[in-house]
């Protein structure tokens, strides 16, 4: 097998131009993008990506979830393909790079191989997963989830948006129902390039994040029930203040996460207070806790400690308490060999790098359940994402795509 020279690089200007071209489709209101899944803008973005893939000589396959697979042949027709990609859909007030960089970075990698007439033994397939964001149709990572056997196809088709429109109908309307069974494809490996969506790489001045783990999470929905009463005339000892219980539990969640630093986070992000009136002691509060960690044991012990200690807080305040699990993902450990390929690529190319944990969910997390998978991250300004002001530099994008190129080509085996 031939080796990769440290001078093998993608065309950073061309990648950047493609990112800017795609960003013209489904513009946001503040310089970012609103290209939500299965909208007309999504269809337009898909058509542009399709045209670029055809121009690069790739063969497009589409599955019944609308996921696009653009294939560059290898020299061995029986060799399992190496997959690369991410998503072209965005949040309603999304940035130009979240997901898009991973798809267009994959396309740029193929364009570079074409330019240099480099052949690989294994085919390379650039993928655009449908509905990664999950804002219009929950849950997130819907198509990769069906691919990985986490959801049934019919269940996915029945998801509805805020207007009551069904995923399956909207997929048909924009003309992207493919004929392939979902999950039928076999992969040698899957690589996803993504912006960090956090502040660590930029703060430490690193070019590349070598993603070793994805965080698992527990979402707990807590309902505290006390008694609505007048804030002025109810004596303090006679109150059953659900708001106070929520406040003490907010402290508890923070303290639990702090006791597992640096590899755990926890917060109460969503709160409904009833009746939410200036002069009524809250009789009921419903809130959700979000605990995350890349380690299963830490994750479970955080949940366990909350479940043990929170009822004591409720009891002391005379409140009733219900805890319900409203979401759960196991932590993800990415494939050792694929991770080593990413780290080795950064090393060979002379890019500064560090191991990092993905705080957000990605399509790669589902695919990792089936096939060897790894992720490459590049910094983003101020860690800002899911925001129209999301920003990266051309150099960061280029470095990330260079590392992707090397990791993918090494795995797909270069042929002289
Ligand atoms: Zn994303």
Based on the fold, state whether residues 39 and 188 are members of the same structural domain: yes
Based on the fold, state whether residues 34 and 78 are members of the same structural domain: yes
| CA angle 41–94–288, rounded 5-degree value | 120
**CA 134 to ligand 1 center in whole angstroms:** 10
**CA 163 to ligand 1 center in whole angstroms:** 24
Q: Check if the beta carbon of residue 122 is closer than 8 Å to that of residue 411.
A: yes
CA distance 306 to 328: 16
For 12, the 3-state DSSP assignment is helix
**CA 155 to ligand 1 center in whole angstroms:** 23
Residue 88 has pLDDT above 90, yes or no: yes
Model pTM score? 0.89
On the CB side of 261, CA atoms within 13 Å amount to 4
Helix (H) or strand (E) holding 365: helix 363-367
**CA 192 to ligand 1 center in whole angstroms:** 10
Based on the fold, state whether residues 139 and 173 are members of the same structural domain: yes
Which domain-ending residue is among 280, 302, 329?
329
Asked if residue 4 is part of any domain, the answer here is: no
Is 362 annotated as ligand-binding? no
Q: How confident is the model at residue 109 (pLDDT cuts 50, 70, 90)?
A: very high
Based on the fold, state whether residues 340 and 324 are members of the same structural domain: no
Based on the fold, state whether residues 316 and 381 are members of the same structural domain: no
**CA 104 to ligand 1 center in whole angstroms:** 13
Is 406 annotated as ligand-binding? no
Q: Check if the beta carbon of residue 405 is closer than 8 Å to that of residue 110.
A: no
Question: What digits encode the pLDDT tens for the residues 140-173?
Answer: 999 999 999 999 999 999 999 999 999 999 999 9
**CA 3 to ligand 1 center in whole angstroms:** 32
Structural domain total, the chain: 2
Question: What digits encode the pLDDT tens for the residues 185-207?
Answer: 999 999 999 999 999 999 999 99
- How is residue 396 annotated by DSSP? H
Based on the fold, state whether residues 85 and 144 are members of the same structural domain: yes
Buried b (16+ CB within 10 A) or exposed e, 59-93: eebbbbbbbbbbbbebeeeeebbbbbbbbbbbbbb
**CA 99 to ligand 1 center in whole angstroms:** 4
Asked if residue 7 is part of any domain, the answer here is: no
**CA 283 to ligand 1 center in whole angstroms:** 39
Which domain-ending residue is among 283, 299, 329?
329
**CA 361 to ligand 1 center in whole angstroms:** 8
Asked if residue 120 is part of any domain, the answer here is: yes
Asked if residue 2 is part of any domain, the answer here is: no
CA distance 151 to 137: 14
**CA 64 to ligand 1 center in whole angstroms:** 21
Sign of the four-CA dihedral 373, 374, 380, 384: positive
Based on the fold, state whether residues 55 and 201 are members of the same structural domain: yes
**CA 231 to ligand 1 center in whole angstroms:** 45
**CA 160 to ligand 1 center in whole angstroms:** 21
Q: Which domain holds residue 325?
A: 216-329
Question: What digits encode the pLDDT tens for the residues 166-175?
Answer: 999 999 999 9
Is 386 annotated as ligand-binding? yes
Based on the fold, state whether residues 145 and 280 are members of the same structural domain: no
Is 254 annotated as ligand-binding? no
**CA 243 to ligand 1 center in whole angstroms:** 35
Query: How much of the chain is helix, strand and coil, in % rounded to 5?
Result: 35, 25, 40
Question: What digits encode the pLDDT tens for the residues 262-276?
Answer: 999 999 999 999 999
Q: What backbone phi and psi angles, to 5 degrees, belong to 60?
A: -95, 130
Terminal C-alpha separation, the chain: 8
Which domain-ending residue is among 312, 329, 346?
329
Residue in the block written with tokens 């085919």: 123
Based on the fold, state whether residues 183 and 98 are members of the same structural domain: yes
Look at residue 4 in the predicted model and tell me its pLDDT: 80
Based on the fold, state whether residues 106 and 209 are members of the same structural domain: yes
**CA 166 to ligand 1 center in whole angstroms:** 22
- CATH code where residue 117 lies: 3.40.630.10
Under 8 Å CB-to-CB from 178, ≥6 apart: which residues? 61, 62, 63, 64, 65, 66, 67
Question: What digits encode the pLDDT tens for the residues 239-257?
Answer: 999 999 999 999 999 999 9
Q: How confident is the model at residue 2 (pLDDT cuts 50, 70, 90)?
A: low
- CATH code where residue 302 lies: 3.30.70.360
- Neighbouring C-beta atoms of residue 272, cutoff 10 Å: 12
CA distance 192 to 210: 11
Residue 407 has pLDDT above 60, yes or no: yes
Is 347 annotated as ligand-binding? no
């Amino acid at each position: 097998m031939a080796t990769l020279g440290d001078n093998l690089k993608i065309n950073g200007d061309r990648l950047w131009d493609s990112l800017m071209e795609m960003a013209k489709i489904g513009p946001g209101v503040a310089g970012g993008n609103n290209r939500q899944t299965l909208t007309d803008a999504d269809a337009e973005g898909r058509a542009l990506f399709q045209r670029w893939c055809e121009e690069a000589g790739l063969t497009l396959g589409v599955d019944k979830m609308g996921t696009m697979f653009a294939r560059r042949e290898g020299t061995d027709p029986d060799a399992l393909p190496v997959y690369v990609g991410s998503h072209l859909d965005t949040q309603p007030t999304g940035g130009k790079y979240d997901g898009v960089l991973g798809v267009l970075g994959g396309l740029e990698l193929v364009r570079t191989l074409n330019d240099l007439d480099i052949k690989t033994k294994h085919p390379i397939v650039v993928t655009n997963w449908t509905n990664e964001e999950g804002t219009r149709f929950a849950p997130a990572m819907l198509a990769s989830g069906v691919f990985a056997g986490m959801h049934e196809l019919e269940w996915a088709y029945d998801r509805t948006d805020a207007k009551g429109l069904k995923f399956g109908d909207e997929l048909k309307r924009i003309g992207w129902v493919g004929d392939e069974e979902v999950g039928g494809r076999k992969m040698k490996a899957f690589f996803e390039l993504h912006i960090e969506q956090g502040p660590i790489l930029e703060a430490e001045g690193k070019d590349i994040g070598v993603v070793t783990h994805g965080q698992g999470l527990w979402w707990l929905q807590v309902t505290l029930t006390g008694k609505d009463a007048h804030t002025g005339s109810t004596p303090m000892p006679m109150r059953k203040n659900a708001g106070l219980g929520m406040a003490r539990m907010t402290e508890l969640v923070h303290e639990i996460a702090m006791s597992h630093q640096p590899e755990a986070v926890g917060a109460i992000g969503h709160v409904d207070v009833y009746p939410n009136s200036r002069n009524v002691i809250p009789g009921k509060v419903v809130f959700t806790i979000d605990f995350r960690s890349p380690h299963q044991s830490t994750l479970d012990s955080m949940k366990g400690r909350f479940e043990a200690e929170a009822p004591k807080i409720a009891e002391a305040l005379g409140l009733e308490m219900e805890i319900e699990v409203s979401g759960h993902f196991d932590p993800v450990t990415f494939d050792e060999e694929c991770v080593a390929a990413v780290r080795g690529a950064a090393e060979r190319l002379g890019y500064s790098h560090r191991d990092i944990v993905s705080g957000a969910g990605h399509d790669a997390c589902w695919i990792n359940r089936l096939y060897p998978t790894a992720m490459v991250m590049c910094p983003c300004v101020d860690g800002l994402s899911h925001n129209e002001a999301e920003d990266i530099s051309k150099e960061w994008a280029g470095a990330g795509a260079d590392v992707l190129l090397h990791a993918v080509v090494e795995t797909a085996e270069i042929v002289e």
